[in-house]
Chains A and B, each alone.
Chain A
Amino acid sequence: MFKIVKKRELNQHVTLMEIEAPRIAKKAKPGQFIILRINEFGERIPLTVADTNQKTGAVTIIFQIVGKTTMDLNALSEGDSLLDFAGPFGVASNLDGYKKAAVVGGGLGTAIAYPQAKALFNQGAKVDAILGFRNKDLIILEDEIKAVSDRAFITTDDGSNGTKGFVTDILKKLIDDGNSYDVVIAIGPLPMMKAVSNLTREYGIKTIVSMNPVMIDGTGMCGGCRITVGGEMKFACVDGPEFDGHLVDFDEAILRSQMYKDHESKAAKRHVCRMEGMQNG
């Protein structure tokens, strides 16, 4: 069993948890992920490692409440435990040698981009962080990101905070203004990573994206997480999760991310009914 030692709501849809898992905390590096299962009946879901604490043996995860499993996860409190917690999976980010980077986070992707920004910043790179959210209530990790970047830019789709518009607008402006980045790290929803990759391709700037497809085992056994990169089949769990954004077939990845949409909504609906039933009863 893996104890939840800390829980913090970052906004109404996004929660941070620290999970006691000393073996994993000792090994996990930025870019890697864990797989958890809440209970006997639960699904295995992958979540990126947002941070680790060697001293306390805790692994930080940040998740958005999107379906049954994340709803159930969010219903747990400090002191509760998860049945299964395994990892670290995937290849760690290789950030060696980058001197000037743009780190682009979209929504929850900000949580996944944070460790990269931190690692780059700590190795002495200049970091421009560009974070995009739908509206001001959904902004997360603003202070944390600011602490590990030279400049931080916030956009909201509705203009309720920062610049109205998309992260790509800011990134384009920064590039056009003469900022020459060695690398752009873009982490967020698939359409956002696609848009950033399309933009940076024009400028020939190396772009790293983090893929988070459906998977079961995380060791290359099921092949459910396969994506096409540079015309070749890759498994996000063992070959990634980070890939060259200019080579990823995002359209295919977007279609594949829809595979269980109807199951998810069915499970979530049933869950809500049950919860309401419990409250009413």
Chain B
Amino acid sequence: MAKRNMNPQKTPIPEQDANIRNKNFDEVALGYTEEMAKSEAKRCLQCKHRPCVGGCPVNVQIPDFIGAIAEGRFKEAYEIIKETNSLPAVCGRVCPQETQCEKLCVRAIKGESVGIGRLERFAADWYMKNIEEKVEKPKSNGRKVAVIGSGPAGLTCAGDLAKLGYDVTIFEAFHVAGGVLMYGIPQFRLPKEIVQKEIDALKQMGVTIETNSVVGKVVSIDELMCEEGFEAVFVGTGAGLPSFMKIPGENLNGVYSSNEFLTRVNLMKAYKFPEYETPVKIGRNVAVIGGGNVAMDAARCAKRLGAENVYIIYRRSEAEMPARLEEVHHAKEEGIIFKVLTNPTRILGKDGWVAGIECVEMELGEPDESGRRKPRAKEGSEFVMDMDTVIIAIGQSPNPLIKSTTPDLKTHSWGGIIVDEETGKTSKEGVFAGGDAVSGAATVILAAGAGKKAAKAIDEYLKSKQ
């Protein structure tokens, strides 16, 4: 075993300079070199009780893959990750490691945790660059399974089922597969080429992807099962219904839901207008309402599209922000202005266009049911800021399209599909579900984990049915 690296700090990851990157859509973090990766991997203590593994929603054998990196066995490192996580290059970039594996790292007690996410990303990137992967097409067992939605849950479920020999078809409503990985997360945080590689690998395994296919409209779940011969269905349709604030002025021109704004920019590539023909409107002053990762993504896109002043407006304090620390940090570096303890009360218009936003100052009271201190308005503290664009990023809930066309699929009042947590089994025979469609908006890794569990359960279900 090589000598341990006792530096209390993570090996820094090279990044584009903040004042350069806030004008382009290229990836922010550039990734470790082999030397950096080995050096960081040597910070891992290889502890026997492996707390990090328990913090990972899909139980990646973290010390094992890090040990392999430390010894330069990069290919093996990737293969260890891939055993339990089907999207390493994606998760290495977008997982909230600081609240999962890295939070439990023993090195974090005195200093910084091991850079587990950075190392995962390194292993995945190294593999993609150096290994000409020949994906074997597994022998078909001739049994058809339909996967609805091609986001992280659907891709993972499809991949695992294909490996087991099932004849899998993914139905995707949009014209490209990838779901939120394509329309939601921006290029500078998750290059679309990486997502495309994962999708291409699935195709090589024999998975059929039917884009432009809105299940619930062009075909129903019942038709898939009764007429088209699919023996099981996995629903991974995500959380695609944008929430609005219900304040005056939300229908003014210049107001976007974060879904629309990000879809225009990422999926339709409005940042390359007019080469790509979908436009997006960005004024001089942009307000993004909300404090999650989606809000950070929207704000950073707005800055890159040329807005002078981009504000994050959030009603609680920075400590309560649901966004990853790294995203908040990157946003600040790029010049995003944080207006916390501030809540919009109305959007002001002129000739049908956004002209300003009226906000009220907030203060924190007692903790609410989420455990976070509840914000309340300070009376008479209203103030107005000039604004040209307002992006509402206060969350999204599951899309009701599947539910409305599948009456025997039980859902919660807020729209989430009701499932057995261990298997993803729904109220409807042969139908499983997972990801944001079940949990409401959450993370890529949780969705992937749910897709994995469901694939296993579908396999067991179909075997028992035989």
Contact = CB atoms under 8 A, between A and B. Distances in A.
B214 A219 contact: yes
B80 interface: no
Contacts of B279: 260, 263-264, 267
B268 A43 contact: yes
Q: Which one of A44, A216, A221 has the highest number of Cβ atoms from chain B below 10 Å of its Cβ?
A: A221
Contact of B174 (A41, A217, A223): A217
Interface stretch (B8-16, B251-259, B331-339, B417-425): B251-259
B183 to A, nearest CB: 8
Interface in A245-269: 252, 255-256, 258-260, 263-264, 266-267
A255 B275 contact: no
Contacts of A46: none
Nearest to B400: A220
A40 to B, nearest CB: 8
A144 B399 CA distance: 38
A5 interface: no
B352 A258 contact: yes
Interface range on chain B: under 10, 10 to 19, 20 to 34, or 35 or more? 35 or more
Interface string B318-360: 0000000000000000000000000000000001100000000
Interface string A202-227: 00000000000000111111111011
Interface string A70-100: 0000000000000111111100000000000
A37 interface: yes
Contacts of B244: 223, 226, 233
Nearest to A23: B218
A233 B251 contact: yes
Contact of A43 (B212, B214, B242, B277): B277
A238 B401 contact: yes
B192 to A, nearest CB: 13
B4 interface: no
A178 B257 CA distance: 47
Given A238-B401, A267-B277, A256 B175 contact: no
B263 interface: yes
Contacts of B246: 233
A220 B274 contact: no
A161 interface: no
A270 interface: yes
B40 to A, nearest CB: 39
B277 A266 contact: no
Contacts of B26: none
B240 A85 contact: no
B120 interface: no
Given A27-B218, A89-B217, A259-B281, A219 B251 contact: no
B274 A266 contact: yes
A84 B218 contact: no
A252 B251 contact: yes
Contacts of A113: none
Contacts of B214: 86-87, 89, 218-219
Interface residues of A, number: 42
Contact of A223 (B259, B274, B275, B352): B259
A86 B213 contact: yes
B218 A87 contact: yes
A69 interface: yes
Nearest to A270: B274
B211 A220 contact: no
B125 interface: no
B273 interface: yes
A44 B175 contact: yes
B277 A86 contact: no
A68 interface: yes
Contacts of A258: 253, 352
A24 interface: yes
A83 to B, nearest CB: 7
B175 A222 contact: no
A207 B278 CA distance: 33
Interface string B132-159: 0000000000000000000000000000
B175 A83 contact: yes
A88 B212 CA distance: 10
A261 to B, nearest CB: 10
A23 B263 CA distance: 26
B361 interface: no
Contacts of B259: 221-223
A259 B213 CA distance: 29
Given A44-B268, A86-B212, A221 B352 contact: no
B414 interface: no
A222 B277 CA distance: 17
Interface in B273-320: 273-279, 281
B94 to A, nearest CB: 20
B173 interface: yes
Contact of A221 (B241, B253, B268, B351): B241
28 contacts: A27-B218, A27-B219, A69-B277, A84-B175, A86-B218, A87-B214, A88-B217, A88-B218, A89-B214, A89-B217, A216-B278, A217-B174, A217-B263, A221-B242, A223-B242, A223-B257, A224-B256, A228-B251, A233-B251, A238-B400, A255-B253, A255-B351, A259-B253, A263-B273, A263-B279, A263-B281, A266-B274, A270-B274
Interface of A: 23-24, 27, 37, 41-44, 68-69, 83-89, 216-224, 226-228, 233, 238, 252, 255-256, 258-260, 263-264, 266-267, 270
Given A220-B400, A223-B242, A223-B244, 8 more contacts: A41-B277, A84-B211, A89-B214, A217-B173, A222-B259, A224-B256, A255-B351, A263-B281
Interface of B: 173-175, 211-214, 217-219, 240-242, 244, 246, 250-251, 253-254, 256-257, 259-260, 263-264, 268, 273-279, 281, 351-352, 399-401
